[in-house]
Structure 1
Amino acid sequence: MTLKDAQGGFAGFTGVLWTVRPDGSWDRKLFINRKIRKADQQGKLTAKELRSLADILAHAQVDKFPPKMGKFRGANPHVVTLSWGKHQCEWTLPPGSPVPKYPDQPFGKLTSEDSFAEVFQILHKMLKNPKAE
């Protein structure tokens, strides 16, 4: 699974690429356009964290995500892409806009955007290098 958080700008797209492997190992790499740097953070999720991530992905129903989300079509978009297996979902937001916060509605009807936000927030919390804090 990968999560790519990219901001368009004068020099093209810059951002961060997180990769989580099936064994729980993960890394974070910075990129500028197609040039990806070496990992600046890495770690390994525990078996419990992997189960939790699987539960979150099931709750978010990632298999039902559309290939593209977001209505913004202007210059310098903020593009967040979640890829897993043979699937990919790309959310295009206005420049500098953060991914909206996940509305914690356990019994409410969630949109694809709500579910994407849930996965985004959880991955950000899980993929932190304790040494970097």
Structure 2
Amino acid sequence: MKNTVTEDSFEASNEEIETVPVAKAEAIESTAPNPSVESEIRSIMAALLGIPPDNMDEHRSLEDYGMDSVLALQLLHHLQARISSEIGMNDLNKCHTLQDVISLSLNPMHPEHERKLVPDTP
């Protein structure tokens, strides 16, 4: 029997309905593909690397494109200004491909990109 919703009633089958914790649902939502962010990141990186955006393979190593520490710093500046101020250099250093940068930008606080907090020294 299908789940049916009407104005007057709600019928549900005997099938179990999976519930998802709010935090997990938010994490799923925040990592969902976002074409505008992906396009923006692709454009930023292509401009920094001096290649057409369409020529970038999202699974190719950034080093293969000539990404170095200077370009990484420039990329970080653009990402913080245009995508998310939550992104840090330590996070960006963990990215090896365009897809990694996109994933980080869509969810900078994801546990995979978790930052280690350094206690203040007196």
TM-score (structure 2 length as normaliser): 0.27
Q: Which has the higher helix share?
A: 2
TM-score (structure 1 length as normaliser): 0.25
Q: Which has the higher strand share?
A: 1
